[in-house]
Amino acid sequence: MEPVSAPQVVGRFAPSPTGPLHHGSLVAALGSYALARRARGRWLMRIEDIDTPRVVPGMADRMLRTLEALGFEWDGPVLWQSACNDRYAAALDQLAAAGLIYPCGCSRRELQRVASAPLAADGGLIYPGTCRKGLAPGKRARAFRVRVDDAAVEFVDAIFGPQRERLAEGSGDFVLRRADGLFAYQLAVVVDDAASGVNQVVRGADLLPSTPRQIYLQQRLGYQTPAYAHLPLVTDRDGGKLSKRDAAVSIADGRDLVREGAALLVAALRFLGQQPPADLARAANRDVLAWACASFDLDRVSTRAAPFGLSAAPAT
């Protein structure tokens, strides 16, 4: 009998065009790229432009040009979430046929007034189940939520280790289609990863709290669960999270990335605990990426959030 070969690794980078690529984006892109390529896998590019009210016109093209200038190369065409609504609708219909979703008439303001509603790990409201047994008289459906059960979702993150969450306590029933008619991130990312064959998800630790919800949806939709690795967050100088909505500085502003990108890439590698040779900072971008793809050591990556600097020491 011939040995069964392991499936090819398929990773991805999936930025949202709501602001420019900042240092945190660079760390996520580099980490996902290096780990996929080191495994001789594919690396896909997805533009998560489904949240149309927040999309900045022209930003997606700017992001792609920035990544190209830094030497990143992706496999196949870019996937645009805004072109995949039929796919999300089919997944929602599948969940509806299984009796797993229901209409919700609650506004965010109403939920904020519920004194007993605590915050989830990602800062969102834990849904108290107001509409779980049906809409109250006079209420109209605003959004659609998925029913969660009492079982714990468990997985092992390659950096943060074993994770366990009971969604009934950690998030409650969560939204899959929003009040404005748009599909929610949690549904879109799960459907896209499955459709593209993604089996390795490497991204920032800010998305770690979303992972149990995504695994729950994968299980309900019959999808395979990818391997996860959540990279440490890049913070501002005061220790706060970098945010596109807070006008985080673009890595492209004031730089010739073809000539100066190597220093940025080396700094990102050091942030991730890697030890590239010092002279790589003066090399071509493609040489830095080649070193990363050959030498990236996941065991060196820390869980600690830290500021990013061109001369910063590795996070430890």
Print pLDDT tens along the chain (316 aa). Answer: 555 567 999 999 999 999 999 999 999 999 999 999 999 999 999 999 999 999 999 999 999 999 999 999 999 999 999 999 999 999 999 999 999 999 999 988 888 776 555 667 676 788 999 999 998 888 899 999 999 999 999 999 999 999 999 999 999 999 999 999 999 999 999 999 999 999 999 999 999 999 999 999 999 999 999 999 999 999 877 667 666 544 457 898 888 898 889 999 999 999 999 999 999 999 999 999 999 999 999 999 999 999 987 754 334 3
| Tokens 């969940």, residue located | 95
Does some domain include residue 3?
A: no
143-146 vs 174-177, strand pairing mode? antiparallel
Does some domain include residue 99?
A: yes
Total number of domains constituting the chain = 2
Enumerate long-range contacts of 175-178, CB under 8 Å, 24 or more apart: 175/104, 175/143, 175/144, 175/145, 176/92, 176/95, 176/101, 176/144, 176/145, 176/146, 177/92, 177/143, 177/144, 178/143
Are residue 200 and residue 295 in the same domain, yes or no? yes
CA angle 106/112/118 to nearest 5° reads 110
CATH of the domain at 165: 3.40.50.620
Are residue 74 and residue 106 in the same domain, yes or no? no
Q: Please answer whether residues 262 and 280 qualify as being in contact, where contact means their C-beta atoms are separated by less than 8 angstroms.
A: yes
Structure tokens at 146: 């998925």
Q: Please answer whether residues 27 and 308 qualify as being in contact, where contact means their C-beta atoms are separated by less than 8 angstroms.
A: yes
Are residue 130 and residue 180 in the same domain, yes or no? yes
* Dist. CA 76–CA 82, nearest whole Å: 18
Are residue 95 and residue 178 in the same domain, yes or no? yes
Does some domain include residue 107?
A: yes
